[in-house]
Amino acid sequence: MRRFEGQTVLVTGGAKGIGAATAARLASEGAQVVVADFDEAAATETAERIGGRAVRCDVTSRADVEAAVAAAAESGRLDVLVTCAGIIRDNLIHKMTDDDWEAVIATHLRGTFLAAQAAQAVMTQQGSGSMVLVSSVSALGNRGQANYSAAKAGLQGLTKTLAIELGRFGVRANCVAPGFIATAMTQQTAERIGMSFDDFQATAAEQIPLRRVGQPEDVAGVIAFLCSDDAAYVTGQVIYVSGGP
């Protein structure tokens, strides 16, 4: 499939994990991809691997995000925005610090707000475009993730509001909510609780109806569908990509 031939795409948090898999998938279908990430070395490596461009960008910075969108829209077009930048700072509510709270809310909620705001300016002008925001099953609540679950639930509300406001300009916004995906993020959780990553994945898989943890490519495929014209009449939706209901 070459669903993104000639299209310009920006993936925030595109250096690693789900973002990198998404950048690779969209590039393999013909897109010109800008990989925006604050890990510049990893962003450059990913961009070189997929034939895209890397931009150093901290999504909590308005100036960085606006520069990344401008770089992606250099040709005057921006067809797709995927916001994957994310961090975790897990702690039970009674131990959660202001820093834990602020860092997670700033990265996920403010970072996505800034990217969506800058992208919609280009997309509404051109009368088309598609955004995919990355939520999580944690939006439904998860022990130790008051900050993260609040941010991920917020992203679902943001998605629906973007869909309502931008639909009449031909711009769609959808959301994926992954479950356990094997990336640096879940590896970090395994380290925090003192389990090997293999054991952590095996234990998680036992609770998942499809009896395996997800891979970044499992999410990338759904994101590609939502960004593509195959989903031309789909907006404001949240799709759980979690190996179960």
| Given 10, 23, 134, 162, the residue binding ligand NAD (CB under 6 A) | 134
HEC string for 123-179: HHHHCCEEEEEECCHHHHCCCCEHHHHHHHHHHHHHHHHHHHHHHHHCEEEEEEEEC
CA–CA separation, 89 vs 33, rounded Å? 29
Residue 240 annotated to the active site: no
- Among 53-61, 156-164, 191-199, 223-231, the segment contacting ligand NAD (CB under 6 A): 53-61
With binding defined as CB under 6 A, does residue 52 bind ligand NAD?
no
Residue 112 touching ligand NAD (CB under 6 A): no
Please list, residue by residue across 61-87, b when 16 or more beta carbons sit within 10 angstroms of its beta carbon and e when fewer do: beebbbbbbeebbeeebbbbbbbbbbb
> Three-state SS for 46?
helix
Per-residue tokens: 133: 């925001």
Asked if 207 and 179 count as a contact pair (C-beta separation under 8 A), the reply is no
Interaction between residue 164 and ligand NAD (CB under 6 A): no
| Residue 25 sits in the site that holds ligand NAD (CB under 6 A) | no
Work out how close the CB of 5 gets to ligand NAD at its nearest, in angstroms, rounded to a whole number. 26
Give yes or no for residue 87 binding ligand NAD (CB under 6 A): yes
Residue of 147, 156, 183, 235 interacting with ligand NAD (CB under 6 A): 183
Q: Which of 59, 69, 173, 224 binds ligand NAD (CB under 6 A)?
A: 59
Q: What is the largest CA-CA distance in the chain?
A: 50
Task: Between 190 and 234, name the residue whose CB sits nearer to ligand NAD.
Answer: 190
Query: Footprint of ligand NAD on this chain (CB under 6 A)?
Result: 13, 15-19, 37-39, 42, 57-60, 84-87, 107, 111, 134, 136, 178, 180-181, 183-186
Residues carrying an active site annotation:
148
